[in-house]
Every structure is written in structure tokens, then in C-alpha cells.
Amino acid sequence: MKERSIKELLQLMLDNQDLFYDGLCFWTANLLFKKISKEEYYLLSNYIRKNAPFSHKINIFKTSPFYWKSGAIAPRIKWLQYHIKKNS
């Protein structure tokens, strides 16, 4: 099976909002083995970590593992849309 591009994987996340739970990392994990391979999971997870929202990158005292409020899908959808466009 050919590995999909980051753009395709981000779009897959956007197309599977029913698998969203809490945050981007859990959302990605819920896609694993249902919609994406283990290799695609690692590719997507690394992309998310490397492209974390700016405010999260500079806040070294942040104790929450979430980039936005847990369970809030709207900012995550906006982030996905931005990165899909960025990778077009």
C-alpha cells in the first residue's frame, strides 16, 4: 500500500470528524488501523508535533498535553484546513 501524502492524511482527518475525541493526537490514534497504516500514523503524528500552534511552542510552562481546550473540535478543524491548504 502506497503511503499517502500529509495533505491526504490531513484531509482524511477532516473527513472523519466522527473519530474525533479530545485532541489531534487522539484523533490520529483513532484513525490508526481503521483508516491509516502504522507508517502513516507516525508520519501524521510527527507532522502535528512539528507544526504545533505557535503559542504552544513558546509556552514552556504549559502543563496540558492539548494545544487547545480538550474536546473543542473547531480550532482543530481550522488548523487542519490551514495545513491542507499549506500542503497543496
Q: What is the pLDDT of residue 60?
A: 52
Range of the domain at 44: 6-86
Asked whether 45 and 5 are in contact (CB, 8 A), the reply is no
Residue 5: pLDDT band with limits 50, 70, 90: very high
Q: Please count the structural domains in the chain.
A: 1
Annotate 8-62 with three-state secondary structure: HHHHHHHHCHHHCCCCHHHHHHHHECCCECHHHHHHHHHHHHHCCCHHHHHCCCC
Q: What is the pLDDT of residues 10-68, one digit of tens each?
A: 999 999 999 998 889 889 999 998 999 999 999 999 999 899 875 555 455 555 667 77
The pTM assigned to this predicted structure is: 0.84
* The three three-digit cell numbers of residue 33, written as one number: 488501523
On whether residue 1 sits in a domain, the answer given is no
Query: What is the average pLDDT across 76-88?
Result: 96
